[in-house]
Chain A
Amino acid sequence: MDILTGRLTRLTAVNADTDAELIARGSCDSQFWRLAHTDPALPVLPKYVKQQLEERSLDLQGFAIRTLTDDRLIGYIGLYTIFWPQREAIMGINIGERDFWGKGYGTDALRVLLRFGFEELNLRRVSLSFLEGNERAMRSYEKCGFRLEGRERNAWAYDGRRWDEIYMGLLREEWQETNNEQ
Chain B
Amino acid sequence: MSNEQLAMGNDQGLLVGRLVRLVAVNSEKDAEAIARWDVDSEYMRQLSSRAQLPSQAKKIKEYIEKEQIDDPRTIAFAVRTLADDRMIGFVAFDGIDWPHSAAFVAIGIGDPAYRGNGYGTDAMRVMLRYGFQELNLYRVQLNTFSYNERAVKSYLKAGFVSEGLQRGMLLRDGQRWDYIYMGLLRDEWLTLTNEP
Query: Chain A residues in contact with chain B, CB under 8 A?
Result: 59, 82, 84-87, 120-122
Contacts and interface: CB of A to CB of B under 8 A. Distances in A.
A122 B99 CA distance: 6
Given A59-B72, A84-B72, A120 B136 contact: no
Given A85-B136, A120-B99, 16 more contacts: A59-B72, A82-B98, A84-B72, A84-B96, A84-B98, A84-B135, A85-B134, A85-B135, A86-B136, A87-B101, A87-B136, A121-B98, A121-B99, A122-B99, A122-B100, A122-B101
Contacts of A121: 98-99
Contacts of B100: 122
Contacts of B99: 120-122
Interface residues of B, number: 9
Interface in B116-143: 134-136
A37 B98 CA distance: 29
A82 B98 CA distance: 10
A82 B96 CA distance: 14
Nearest to B137: A85
B53 to A, nearest CB: 28
A120 B99 CA distance: 7
15 contacts: A59-B72, A82-B98, A84-B72, A84-B96, A84-B98, A84-B135, A85-B134, A85-B135, A85-B136, A87-B101, A120-B99, A121-B98, A121-B99, A122-B99, A122-B100
Interface in B87-123: 96, 98-101
A122 B96 CA distance: 14
Nearest to A82: B98
B65 to A, nearest CB: 16
